[in-house]
Every structure is written in C-alpha cells, then in structure tokens.
Chain A
C-alpha cells in the first residue's frame, strides 16, 4: 500500500527556535494534512492542503503542498513549550479511491 516517509523522527530544540519537518512519498497525493497529538490525547487537525504549491498558515505554523504533489512541509516558527507533541502528516492519494495514509510522526521536544 501507500507509504509516507516522515522526517525527522524526533527533534529536540530550544524555546524560540524554528522547526521544520517534512513528509515524502513515491506516489502523488491529492490532499495533505498535518495533525498534532499531545501526550495522552487524540490527534488534532492543524492544517489541510488541497492544491499543489499551496502555502497555508495557522498562527505560527505554516505548511506547504509540494509542487510535485509527492511531498509536504510543516514549519513552526518561534517554538514555545506547548508545541511539544507528535506531529503527523497524512495524505489522500491521487485517484480518490484510497483511504487516508499516515506518516509515522515527528516527536517534538521543546526545552524552555
């Protein structure tokens, strides 16, 4: 089945630093989604991307739908301690006949 390669697997940063993570696939996707999961909670949808090249922001978060439609990026600016959690990318493959595919997540730790 479809697979998404999400990297890095984990990040340890200082408060105030910017963060970048990405998700790639060998296949084309129609939709890219980014979720955040805090410890002991369910994932929350942060940003949804529907068009190649699309750049969307949600506060300090910015995500992009790659031009090739095979990747997506999430950036977090000026990180704060409450950014801690696991960030998952997810995608809907081209063709509209396959279910949501998830990356394995990026675990973010922010040191005050």
Chain B
C-alpha cells in the first residue's frame, strides 16, 4: 500500500534531550513537509523539502532540524533549543511543491 508512515505514534523524552521523528513515504513524491499542531490550533509549517538534499525553513523552524538524504525519507529532529516541544507532529508529502499534500498519521511528542 502506498502511503506515508510516521513513527513512533507516541514519544516521550526528558527535557534537554534531542529526539528524532521518522517519516517515510512510498508515493514517489518529490516534496515533503513537517507541520506542528498544538491543541485547538491549526497546522504550522516547520520545514519543507522540494527535492533530495534540499530543504527550506517554514514558519517555525527554530529549535528543529531536518535532513533529506533519500527521496523517501524526511526525518525531523527536535533539539533541546526548542522551548516548547510538546505537540503533535505531522509529516506530509506531495508530488510537487505546489500540489495537494497527503499526511501521515502523526507523532505525539511529550517532553517531561
């Protein structure tokens, strides 16, 4: 089945630790995205990548880092510099940067 897989579904980390969220897609999409969603809030763009080995900051990139070494994979690292990392993180992909996006099932990160 084609789709976007995020793992893990739930993640707990201690404050001050870096944590990496996985996102893999087998849709052969060029573009991939990371969004953050807080309770009762909309989607805020963290980073996006149009092609392999290239990525751009979104609206709230501070405290996050990404890599795009393979077309299928776009991992997100939440660093200790992110002041309020507890949130629901969504990965998405699209065939191109200016086409409809499809989402993974999300990762809920809780930092204690």
Contacts and interface: CB of A to CB of B under 8 A. Distances in A.
Interface of A: 31, 33, 35, 40-45, 48, 88, 90, 92, 96-100, 102-105, 107
A42 B105 contact: yes
Given A42-B104, A44-B103, A98 B98 contact: yes
B74 interface: no
B42 interface: yes
B103 A31 contact: no
Contacts of B71: none
B68 to A, nearest CB: 16
Contacts, number: 49
A98 B45 CA distance: 13
A3 B100 CA distance: 17
Contact of A105 (B42, B92, B94, B99): B42
Contacts of A102: 42-43
Contacts of A31: 99-100
B90 A42 contact: yes
Given A48-B100, A96-B98, A43 B108 contact: no
A42 B106 contact: yes
A43 B97 CA distance: 18
